[in-house]
Chains A and B, each alone.
Chain A
């Protein structure tokens, strides 16, 4: 706080508010990183004005170094909201951070006119302001990163749920078409959905179709066997169908034991087998009647 006692930043932000805002917006509009397609000039002006407002107010409180302190909460909140909305709109991290960094030029121009006689003070003030704006710029970038990671995580969850449907083929017969790789996380989801459906539909046969599973290694095989074992404990038999020729070769080469599980090459064959197990048959109606 002692160092900042001599800083004229708050005063400068108040006195030269209009000039700073005008120059800053002008610079942003001239910048190569401007994205007129994502944000209107009017909106940019508004955001800049709001930032200067809240920046000035907080700077009056004296702490010009630690932006994580409680006094800076308002500025942090404003920048968080700004960063998240820009991330959602499709701005890049640099384009978003430039919002803060582009304030340096107009601010230093102000400093030069205020401290024209005192080079020592000019240097100190410039350094303090640069350090502060750097921290704010980095903060903006970090919030940006976090919101992108949040999006990715949410999409991953959705993908996980979407790609493990369990469908009822017939009374007592379920089908589980697996798409994509089967890792331990997905196996959990698959097992849960399958077992829930077995209880719900009182199914006694579940056909696990792996046509959409690109590779089957020992780990994937283990996961499949676990799922089959769990279904069996609930009183449902599992058949694995959709085994491609390469997969069959891989299974044998790896020495995976599928001895007590029925396997079929196609879902159609598996379904036919299941129907037979349920003592059902498909009969063609005689034509012309």
Chain B
């Protein structure tokens, strides 16, 4: 049985918490599941929580960038939350500044950010928990 990363729905947003080491198959499965769910749930925001990751390499960096791009095509905005300081420094040293991917310190702040963004677009957040 292949493990898949669970995707939780929070109002108009989807929350993905990455807690295990990512490898190719898992990343592809995540991209599949996420794009399906964005369409199925009509989600307009995706929060990816990487607070449990102590090591982020260029593979994961690229994966996050890809997810953000795919979501945008489906009209959903992605916010990566909970990046640890050491991880941020490593990504910068690797030259991956993840342009095009928004970031926030915590899930709360990420939701605030998404709400502001959706508010600017003139939409409601579909009753996401306050």
CA distance A226 to B94 in the complex (A): 10
Binary A-proximity of B75-108 (CB < 8 A = 1, otherwise 0): 0000001010101110111000110000111100
Residues of A within 8 A of B85 (CB): 192, 195-196, 198-199, 230, 234
CA distance A191 to B88 in the complex (A): 10
Q: Mind listing 23 A-B residue pairs with CB under 8 Å?
A: A188-B89, A191-B89, A192-B89, A195-B89, A199-B105, A202-B106, A226-B92, A226-B93, A229-B92, A229-B97, A230-B89, A230-B92, A232-B103, A233-B83, A233-B87, A233-B97, A233-B98, A234-B85, A234-B105, A235-B81, A235-B83, A235-B109, A236-B105
Q: Does the CB pair A195–B88 fall under 8 Å?
A: yes
Least distance between B20 CB and chain A CB atoms (Å): 21
Residues of A within 8 A of B93 (CB): 226
What is the predominant secondary structure among interface residues of chain A facing chain B? helix
Q: Does the CB pair B92–A234 fall under 8 Å?
A: no
**A233-B105 contact, Cβ under 8 Å, with A196-B85, A226-B92:** no
Residues of B within 8 A of A199 (CB): 85, 105
Within 8 A of A (CB), among B43-65: none
Q: Does the CB pair B106–A233 fall under 8 Å?
A: no
Residues of B within 8 A of A191 (CB): 89, 92
Least distance between B124 CB and chain A CB atoms (Å): 21
Within 8 A of B (CB), among A184-228: 188, 191-192, 195-196, 198-199, 202, 204, 226
Least distance between A123 CB and chain B CB atoms (Å): 65
Q: Which of B91, B98, B103, B109 neighbours the largest number of chain A CB atoms within 10 Å of its CB?
A: B103
- Please, which residue of chain A has its CB at the minimum distance from the CB of B87? A233
- Please, which residue of chain B has its CB at the minimum distance from the CB of A227? B92
Additional A-B contacts beyond A226-B92, A231-B88 (12; CB < 8 A): A195-B85, A196-B85, A199-B105, A202-B105, A202-B106, A226-B93, A230-B91, A230-B92, A233-B103, A234-B85, A234-B105, A235-B104
Least distance between A109 CB and chain B CB atoms (Å): 66
CA distance A198 to B104 in the complex (A): 11
- Please, which residue of chain A has its CB at the minimum distance from the CB of B97? A229
Residues of B within 8 A of A188 (CB): 89
